[in-house]
């Protein structure tokens, strides 16, 4: 496994990998370069993205970069976990070919003045509660796509809105990369895997399970015929208020899976998404429910 810390090293390694893949000239996807952008503190969710990339591509790149521009002033940039040695060992054991670990100065040198801003799908939910967050995400992801030049990039469905925003950016900027969204990986009790789960104390951790429970309740209500989104939201909020009293709800939303616009009457496919702020960590989760399936 190659560890690159500079953009030049990545470009050199990628051009050599392309040359090798070209020589083997496979038709089964093994000539593709797959990319998993991360902020490190890798867990089973990340490893499932890496494993999917490994199965589908001939060369797998992971970036580890805690991107300062996507954190708000009072968020957890400083304390975000950075277990680099452990992450590198994890990448190695999952067959990653190249890990890119840039410094903040590499990514944002003095004079850096460009922001990639997607409108519309960034404005609700996370965008409403974390102003500027998606500008930071889009800017760094656009840069990483440009540096790595991969064919396919893998994102987790847990950050559902992020995946929609990135797909929009890729389409709007005609970036030559395909976005694959992989299922959320959960702990045994249903809590969605997240690097931020480690912040939770044992009382918060015990209550955090109610996020997924409330989403399962939403799914059950929809499958039992409830079509009024307000009723779903009310039931989810009630469940959270009862079972996660340490958490403050930022939002519970029932939205169209593509436009992310709120849905009033559920007709087919919706995403139920929520964010809950515990004293030690803010958690998000979502579930997609297709009444036709
Ligand atoms: O999902 C994340 O970990 C980050 O938002 C990403 C996509 C790596 C950009 O910093």
pLDDT digits (tens, 9 = 90+) for 172-207: 999 999 999 999 999 999 999 999 999 999 999 999
CA of 279 to the centre of ligand 1 (A): 23
Centre of ligand 1 to C-alpha 203, Å, is 28
The single residue listed with the structure tokens 């694959």 is 180
Tokens for 227? 């079509």
Q: How far is CA 127 from CA 106, 122, 132, 171, 176, in A?
A: 27, 5, 7, 20, 26
Strand bridging mode 98-100 / 2-4:
parallel
Q: What DSSP line would sit under 114-183, residue for residue? A: ------STTSSTHHHHSTTHHHHHHHHHHHHHHHH--SEEEEEGGGHHHHHHHHHHHHHTT-S-EEEEEP
Q: Which of 138, 141, 161, 164 to mutate to test the pocket of ligand 1 (most atoms within 8 A of CB)?
A: 141
Q: Is the separation of the CB atoms in 180 and 153 below 8 Å?
A: yes
Report the alpha-carbon distance of residue 69 to residue 115 in Å, rounded.
Answer: 10
pLDDT at 293 (0 to 100): 77
pLDDT computed for residue 164 by the predictor:
98
Nearest CA to ligand 1 atom 9: 137
Q: How much is the pLDDT for 30?
A: 83
Contact 232, 270 (CB under 8 A): no
Q: Which residues of the chain have pLDDT under 50?
A: none
Predicted TM-score of the model (pTM) = 0.97
**What is the model's pLDDT at position 24?**
81
- Tokens matching residue 159: 């950050």
Give yes or no: 46 in active site: yes
From the CB of 37, is ligand 1 less than 6 Å away?
yes
Closest CA to 141 of 165, 160, 119, 111: 165
Residues found in the chain: 293
98-100/269-277 β-pairing: unpaired
Which tokens belong to 224? 């039992």
List helix spans (H) across the chain: 7-24, 44-56, 84-93, 104-107, 126-129, 133-148, 160-172, 202-223, 229-243
């Amino acid at each position: 496994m190659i560890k690159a810390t500079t953009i030049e090293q990545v470009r050199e390694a990628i051009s050599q990998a392309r040359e090798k893949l070209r020589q083997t000239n496979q038709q089964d996807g093994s000539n593709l370069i797959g990319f998993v952008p991360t902020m490190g503190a890798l867990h089973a969710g990340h490893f499932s993205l890496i494993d999917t990339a490994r199965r589908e591509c001939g060369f797998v790149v992971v970036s580890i970069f805690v991107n300062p521009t996507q954190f708000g002033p009072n968020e957890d940039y400083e304390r975000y976990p950075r277990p680099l040695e452990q992450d590198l060992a994890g990448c190695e054991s999952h067959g990653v070919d190249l890990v890119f670990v840039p410094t903040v100065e590499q990514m944002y040198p003095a004079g850096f003045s460009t922001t990639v801003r997607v409108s519309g799908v960034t404005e609700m939910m996370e965008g409403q509660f974390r102003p500027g967050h998606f500008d930071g995400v889009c800017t760094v992801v656009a840069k990483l796509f440009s540096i790595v030049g991969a064919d396919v990039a893998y994102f987790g469905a847990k950050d559902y809105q992020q995946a929609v925003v990135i797909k929009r950016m890729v389409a709007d900027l005609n970036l030559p990369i395909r976005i694959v969204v992989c299922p959320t990986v959960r702990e045994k009790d249903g809590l969605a895997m997240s690097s931020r789960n480690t912040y939770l104390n044992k009382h918060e951790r015990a209550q955090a399970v109610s996020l997924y429970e409330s989403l399962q309740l939403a799914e059950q209500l929809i499958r039992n015929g409830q079509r009024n989104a307000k009723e779903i939201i009310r039931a989810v909020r009630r469940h959270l208020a009862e079972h996660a009293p340490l958490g403050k709800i930022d939002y519970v939303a029932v939205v169209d899976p593509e436009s992310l616009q709120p849905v009033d009457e559920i007709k087919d496919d919706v995403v139920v998404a929520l964010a809950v702020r515990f004293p030690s960590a803010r958690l998000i989760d979502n579930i997609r429910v297709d009444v036709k399936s």
